[in-house]
């Protein structure tokens, strides 16, 4: 894929999907700005792993064989707060002098008590938290990066949604509503941002990240897998490859689309 030298901002980089995407793009030679909110250990270990990629000579390698300190930066920010997002984007622009791709992975972690809650018994907090991170966070990032992308004449944006946003899920309603709005944001903004900026979305099915697995006991997990034609959970690297494709020049004529990555679970 055409990602060598691309300047990429990834939100939610310390989580399973964000981490896999960062590692994949580092191997391709992208320059990375990695946003995190609270997982300092996760972002620290990710940075060390990326530096290891440079040392073995894969992508982003400096003159002495190491991943250059100018090729990866980490930024702590709350994506639900526009002023923090704007400051983050300004920092990336200062370091990289441009942003070629925004990959908005950051999402509110869905806890079991919320995922299996009575759909007509949701509290304001249950509704507001996913909305503020998944939708508002994505919108804040788009709002901050698009003027720079427009000025440079090109850019790509990839948002992350989920298959419940397509087929519905009453017992994950707060999450489903927020992820449905992410798809609506993608489709609504595509004509407005074209032709300079492309925006697409991946709708992920059951990906076996640590955060996702916390929500299932063994009985629910086995039931879930039986409903997937591929008869297994996806792995973060499979999600990362779809994200990287949409962000890359290989997808130069694709915008406003939703790419479903779910092992065949959704057939519409």
d(CA 198, CA 44): 31
Tell me what pLDDT residue 62 has. 40
| Residues in the chain, pLDDT under 70 | 1, 54-70, 110-115, 212-216, 268
pLDDT of residue 265: 85
Question: What would the pLDDT profile of 39-58 be if each residue is shown by its tens digit?
Answer: 999 999 999 999 888 654 44
In a domain, 129, yes or no: yes
What is the distance between the alpha carbons of residues 196 and 151, in angstroms, rounded to a whole number? 9
pLDDT of residue 53: 80
pLDDT at 124: 93
Cβ atoms of 179 and 258 closer than 8 Å: no
Inter-CA distances, 99 with 92, 207, 233, Å: 7, 28, 33
Is 72 among the domain residues? yes
Annotated catalytic residue within 82, 175, 216, 253:
175
Calpha distance 24→47 (Å, rounded): 13
In a domain, 2, yes or no: no
CA distance 48 to 25: 15
pTM, whole model, 2 decimals? 0.91
Range of the domain at 104: 7-261
Distance CA 245, CA 249 (A): 8
1 located within any domain: no
Q: Is residue 100 part of a domain?
A: yes
> Could you read off the pLDDT of 138-161 as tens digits, one per residue?
999 999 999 999 999 999 999 999
Question: Which structure tokens are listed for 93?
Answer: 């622009």
CATH of the domain at 59: 3.40.50.720
pLDDT of 111 reads: 67
How many domains would you assign to the chain?
Answer: 1
175 has catalytic annotation = yes
Residue 266 belongs to a domain:
no
**Rounded CA gap, 80 and 132, in Å?**
5
């Amino acid at each position: 894929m055409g990602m060598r030298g691309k300047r990429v901002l990834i939100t939610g980089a310390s989580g399973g999907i964000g981490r896999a995407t960062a590692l994949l793009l580092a191997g391709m030679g992208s320059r990375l700005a990695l946003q995190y909110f609270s997982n300092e250990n996760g972002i620290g270990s990710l940075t060390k792993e990326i530096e290891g990629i440079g040392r073995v000579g894969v992508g982003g390698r400096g003159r002495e064989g190491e991943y250059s300190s100018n090729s990866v930066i980490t930024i702590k920010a709350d994506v639900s707060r526009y002023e923090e997002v704007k400051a983050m984007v300004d920092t990336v622009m200062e370091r990289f002098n441009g942003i070629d791709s925004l990959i908005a992975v950051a999402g509110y972690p869905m806890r079991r008590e919320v995922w299996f809650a009575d759909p007509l018994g949701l509290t304001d907090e249950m509704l507001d938290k996913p909305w503020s991170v998944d939708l508002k966070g994505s919108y804040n990032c788009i709002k901050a990066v698009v003027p720079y992308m427009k000025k440079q004449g090109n850019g790509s944006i990839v948002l992350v949604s989920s298959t419940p946003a397509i087929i519905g899920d009453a017992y994950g309603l707060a999450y489903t509503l927020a992820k449905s709005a992410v798809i609506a944001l993608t489709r609504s903004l595509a004509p407005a941002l074209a032709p300079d900026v492309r925006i697409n979305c991946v709708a992920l099915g059951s990906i076996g990240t640590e955060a996702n697995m916390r929500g299932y006991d063994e009985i629910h997990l086995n039931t879930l897998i039986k409903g997937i034609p591929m008869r297994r959970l996806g792995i973060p690297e499979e999600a990362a490859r779809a994200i990287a494709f949409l962000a890359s020049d290989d997808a130069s004529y694709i915008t406003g689309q939703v790419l479903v990555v779910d092992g065949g679970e959704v057939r519409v």
